[in-house]
Structure 1
Amino acid sequence: MGTNHAFIKTVLSIAVPVALQCMLQSSFSIIDQIMIGQLGSVSIAAVGLAGKFSSIYQVVVSAIAVVAGIMIAQYMGKGEQAQVDRSLSVNLAAAILLALGFTAACLGVPGHIMSIYTEDAAMCAVAASYLRLIAFTFLPMAGAILLSTMLRCMERASLPLYASIVAAIVNTGLNYVLIFGKLGFAPMGVDGAAIATVMAQLANFLLILGAFLMSYRKTGGSFHFSLSLGAEGYRQYIWMLLPILVTEFMWSLGENVYASIYGHMGTIACAAMTLTNPIQGLMIGALSGLSQAAGILIGKSLGKRDYDEAYGNAKKLVWYGLRGAILLSALLIAAKSFYVDIYAVEDVTKKIASDILLAFALVAPIKVLNMILGGGIVRSGGKTKLIMWIDLMGTWIFGVPLGYLSAFVLNLPIPYVYFILSLEEAVRLLVTVIVFKKKIWMQSL
């Protein structure tokens, strides 16, 4: 009983701050969208499409953070501090290079990028302007995500949460001032929202950097930046990183194909889907902490070669996630009408958004299980190639074809399109459960 209590306490110490941070960021998006929503459907749809492209970067840099988490957790389990520092250093360098590449693309050809998503000239112009500005969030975001991963592995997950709270306040205040033109500023509309996001991300990074340096001082040590993993270390690193990069990039590309499908179904349909994004993020974020906790705690057990403990704790985390997801789905079904009514958009947009939220509530438990099992537990052993093949199969063999079939062949309304293409989550879950039960994912680096 005492051991189980200690496990739950450790899970909560990681999962709750991460969940609150993700929920805060999603509620942050809700505030953004309420404010931008006052500008009309074109503006909110444009911001949603630009956000889809920037999400490719977020997903890929988060993939680097996943590898960092696997390496750091396992080396912490082994008690090898020098390897912990090297793991953070190498992944931080990779994230910075990625950020520079995406920044260059968004500054150089934003109009060409957004023309992939929509043929609406007005929407494309607004989206390109927004994308050009939020490109400046990529570098601080890279630093914040990697340093947050390190702090969570050190079981100091509350520190990135505090930084996010401050960033949320900065973003909300600047949104109000810059979008609508308060305190002597001229109204900047969508561009004002982008500038507010840049300033908030910069504040978030600086606070997390300070927390990181402070945490190292409290341990009596100091961080040593080093890229010296050695030939064998880099070989192992690359074989872990490449499958995750491929997985997350192709998954994100698939999500962008979905966004393109919605965008070509019309401005109203695209705006309705955009309205649902923050609440989807809020609900997934509420349980994302379990995925992070799974990766860290199971990784440490694998690092110690305690495989029985790793498997037993993994099963507990899966059940925690399933119960939480079912509860949140029920709450969403009850509250979806109240949520869409806060937006100043057409009634038809509200109705479509409400129907999409119902579809999301039905598939959310499956999404959460995939996140915990595939994104946290199975990856913690370093066999990232398994998840790569499972995710590629789900997205590209099932999800994308089902999306095109339902939208452009069957000509179904967008809520049905969303639900049908989301059935690929069930396929991925089935295969992942088989892999989990066979225990072929359990290994020590």
Structure 2
Amino acid sequence: MKYLNQLLSEVVKDKLFFRSMLSIALPLALQNLIQSGLNMIDTLMIGRLGETEIAAVALSNQVFFLLVLILFGITSGASVFASQYWGSRDIKGLRESLSLSLLLAGGAGLLFTSGAVFFPRFILSIYSKDPEVIRLGSSYLRIVGMSYLATSVTFSYAASLRSTGRVKLTTAVSGISIAINTGLNFLLIFGIGPFPALGVRGAAIATVIARAAETIVLITFIYRNRYPSALSLDDLLHISRAYIRKYFQTSIPVILNEIFWSFGITAINLVFARISTEAMASFSISDTISKLFMIFFFGTSGACAVMVGNRIGAGEESRAVYYAHAYAILAPALGLLMGIILFPLSSLLPLLFNISADAKAGVTSILRVLAFFMPFKIFNWHMIVGILRSGGDTRYSLYMEAGGIWLIAVPAAVLTGLVFHLPLMVIYAALSVEEIVKFTFGFSRLKSGKWLKNVIS
């Protein structure tokens, strides 16, 4: 406790730490605010059509959710190397990490596009037995799947830019994307002026156009300004076997982490979908709202990864440890503050949606439980994404994440939701117990110092 008090006092006075954190965290938070705002606008617009439409799009987006988490695993694994390469100013290594990331992410994007375009009904039938949800969802998924390759390319470049501290560009490009998507949503969902009212298909078309524009603008700026991430064809074709071997040794746990976690979240979504379409709508809306309240922490966890990884790459390990401990103190404190803000708003936010009274009550109950677990959730987020991964301790982060969701969260959701048929608040509270367990293991690992590994040496 004496050490924590001393460290907290030192961090509060450290202007350089806060300046470095905010210079990275604020653009990243703004970027995620834009993205979450886009999701909120999509949900609000589609929500005007009804609960069935919300459920159809929410279930269809589970495919995109799986892809994003796999992409996050691929690019996070590359970022472990990229941030440390940038710390030592090794441009060749930085480009090598981006090249392999692009090839792997592009392959994943093409695979998911094939599934979404050719087998949408089969995929959605895994989640729901409601024929109307499957019909509407299939029409959405078949179109929106065409955006997955562009998303894969954007993910790879954005992760590389983030590792070098260049986050303002990706934020600006995301702003362009949401402007295009929001405008086209309004025109194509409801049919304004000469545009036809296409409903959920209109939302899908808007997404495809916005994602394509986002990718084109991002790549154009990177190459026009000759950023370190501007690859040549030679970079893509000549990736050393030594790097490929190192990448997979470090990154396979990250990719498996995201796969296990994504399938765990999919299983939890499946539980809510099997309870009822109304329960799925409540969970989907709560998830969208919760992301808005955690926007700033997307930024701070990203800043943590960059700052810790750069210092390890530069050989300043004591500074890396200091940064890690500083974030471990600040994260749960800010999470507690956010939980206090969220709790009273939990009964007001559902009023924004055109859903039944029971669905609104479900959203409120889930958000109140989330408010309680917020400090633990935010600590774990920074620990896994910001500290363990940037420190090269990817195997331990896999054990923490996969163990938490598959040994605690999924069984708790199945038992409380499908076996005992308990209220939504109890179901969500039971599956959230994993956050407390992960907090315990994460804090212990941080104290041990075993998380710090230089992967480029």
TM-score range, shorter chain: over 0.9
Contact 2:78–2:247 (Cα < 8 Å) also in 1: no
Say whether 1:295 aligns with 2:305. yes
Partner amino acid, structure 2, of 1:267: T
Please give the secondary structure, in 2, of the residue aligned with 1:216: coil
Measured after TM superposition, the shift of residue 215 of structure 1 is 3.8
Say whether 1:157 aligns with 2:175. no
Question: Which of the residues 20, 29, 37 maps onto 1:27?
Answer: 37
Say whether 1:209 aligns with 2:219. yes
Question: Which of the residues 50, 60, 78 maps onto 2:70?
Answer: 60
Aligned to 2:4: none
Say whether 1:427 aligns with 2:437. yes
Contact 1:99–1:142 (Cα < 8 Å) also in 2: yes
- Please give the alpha-carbon distance, in whole angstroms, between the structure 2 residues aligned to 1:223 and 1:171: 28
Q: Deviations over 1:159-195 (max 9, x none)?
A: 1111111111111111110000012111100111111
Aligned to 2:3: none
Q: How do 1:104-123 residues align onto structure 2 when only pairs under 5 Å count? A: 104-123=114-133
Aligned to 2:327: 317
Question: Which of the residues 202, 209, 222 maps onto 1:199?
Answer: 209
Measured after TM superposition, the shift of residue 228 of structure 1 is 3.5
Measured after TM superposition, the shift of residue 229 of structure 1 is 4.0
Question: Which of the residues 269, 292, 296 maps onto 1:286?
Answer: 296
Aligned to 2:241: 231
Aligned to 2:252: 242
Contact 1:54–1:131 (Cα < 8 Å) also in 2: no
- Please give the alpha-carbon distance, in whole angstroms, between the structure 2 residues aligned to 1:211 and 1:332: 38
Partner amino acid, structure 2, of 1:248: E
Question: Which of the residues 63, 76, 79 maps onto 1:69?
Answer: 79
- Gapped runs of 5+ residues in structure 2? 1-9
Q: How do 1:41-440 residues align onto structure 2 when only pairs under 5 Å count? A: 41-216=51-226, 223-224=231-232, 225-440=235-450
Partner amino acid, structure 2, of 1:101: L
- Please give the alpha-carbon distance, in whole angstroms, between the structure 1 residues aligned to 2:79 and 2:64: 23
Contact 2:77–2:255 (Cα < 8 Å) also in 1: no
Change (3 A) 1:333 1:215: farther
Partner amino acid, structure 1, of 2:324: A
- Please give the alpha-carbon distance, in whole angstroms, between the structure 2 residues aligned to 1:59 and 1:388: 14
RMSD between superposed Cα atoms in Å: 1.7
Please give the secondary structure, in 2, of the residue aligned with 1:351: helix
TM-score (norm 2): 0.93
Moved more, 322-331 or 105-114: 322-331
- Please give the alpha-carbon distance, in whole angstroms, between the structure 2 residues aligned to 1:256 and 1:57: 12
Partner amino acid, structure 1, of 2:66: I
Please give the secondary structure, in 2, of the residue aligned with 1:380: coil
- Please give the alpha-carbon distance, in whole angstroms, between the structure 2 residues aligned to 1:283 and 1:249: 25
Partner amino acid, structure 2, of 1:245: I
Change (3 A) 1:227 1:302: farther
Change (3 A) 1:100 1:397: same
Aligned to 1:16: 26
Q: How many percent of aligned residue pairs carry the same amino acid?
A: 28
Say whether 1:4 aligns with 2:14. yes
- Please give the alpha-carbon distance, in whole angstroms, between the structure 2 residues aligned to 1:187 and 1:171: 16
Measured after TM superposition, the shift of residue 136 of structure 1 is 1.3
Contact 2:99–2:231 (Cα < 8 Å) also in 1: no
Please give the secondary structure, in 2, of the residue aligned with 1:341: helix
- Please give the alpha-carbon distance, in whole angstroms, between the structure 2 residues aligned to 1:313 and 1:241: 23
Measured after TM superposition, the shift of residue 40 of structure 1 is 0.7
Measured after TM superposition, the shift of residue 443 of structure 1 is 1.4
Contact 2:78–2:251 (Cα < 8 Å) also in 1: no
- Please give the alpha-carbon distance, in whole angstroms, between the structure 1 residues aligned to 2:403 and 2:297: 24
Please give the secondary structure, in 1, of the residue aligned with 2:347: helix
- Gapped runs of 5+ residues in structure 1? none
- Please give the alpha-carbon distance, in whole angstroms, between the structure 2 residues aligned to 1:96 and 1:330: 41
Measured after TM superposition, the shift of residue 338 of structure 1 is 2.2
